[in-house]
Amino acid sequence: MTIRTLFDTIPLTDILGISSPEVLTLPCAAPKRDSRKILAGDVFFCIRGRHHDGHTDLAAASYGAVCAVIDRPDAIAQAEELSLPWILVRDTSSVFPPACLAYYGHPERSLHLYAVTGTNGKTSVTYLLEAIFSAYLPSSPCAVFGTVENRIAGVSYRTENTTPAPEITAELLARARDAGVKTVIMEASSHALEQNRLSGLTFDCGIFTNFSEDHLDYHPTMEDYFLAKRKLFFSCRRALYNIDDPHGMRLFCDPDIPAAAHAYALNHPLAAFSASFLPDDLTDTPCDFLAANRLAAAACASMSSVPTKVICTAIRFMQPIPGRMERVLAAPYSVYLDYAHTPDALKRVLQGLGKQTTGALCVLFGCGGDRERQKRPMMGAIAAALADRIILTADNSRSEDVRDILTEILGGIVQNDRHKVTVITDRRAAILHALNTAKAGDTVLLAGKGHETYQTDQTGTHPFSEREIIRAYQPFIHTDERENP
Please check whether residue 296 lies inside any domain of the structure. yes
Please check whether residue 479 lies inside any domain of the structure. no
Q: What is the CATH number of the domain that holds 409?
A: 3.90.190.20
Q: Domain check: are 15 and 123 in the same one?
A: no
Q: Domain check: are 223 and 346 in the same one?
A: no
Q: What is the CATH number of the domain that holds 79?
A: 3.40.1390.10
Q: Domain check: are 53 and 93 in the same one?
A: yes
Please check whether residue 480 lies inside any domain of the structure. no
Please check whether residue 476 lies inside any domain of the structure. no
What pLDDT, in 10s, does the model give residues 292-326? 999 999 999 999 999 999 999 999 999 999 999 99
Q: Domain check: are 94 and 113 in the same one?
A: no
Torsion sign (Cα): 10, 13, 18, 20: positive
CA 411 – CA 374 distance, rounded (Å): 11
- Spatial CA neighbour of 357 closest among 378, 338, 332: 332
Rounding to the nearest 10 degrees, give the CA dihedral for residues 49, 53, 59, 61: 0
| Domain span holding position 142 | 104-317
pLDDT value at residue 483: 47
pLDDT value at residue 175: 97
Q: Per-residue pLDDT for 47 more than 60?
A: yes
CA 164 – CA 169 distance, rounded (Å): 6
Overall domain count for the chain: 3
Q: Domain check: are 108 and 94 in the same one?
A: no
Please check whether residue 481 lies inside any domain of the structure. no
pLDDT value at residue 287: 84
What pLDDT, in 10s, does the model give residues 409-448? 999 999 999 999 999 999 999 999 999 999 999 999 999 9
Please check whether residue 165 lies inside any domain of the structure. yes
Q: Domain check: are 145 and 294 in the same one?
A: yes
Q: What's the pLDDT band for 479 if we cut at 50, 70, 90?
A: very low
Q: Domain check: are 86 and 124 in the same one?
A: no
Please check whether residue 434 lies inside any domain of the structure. yes
Q: Which of 64, 98, 132 delimits the end of a domain?
A: 98
Q: What CA–CA distances, in Å, run from 279 to 9, 124, 128, 193, 482?
A: 45, 19, 16, 35, 46
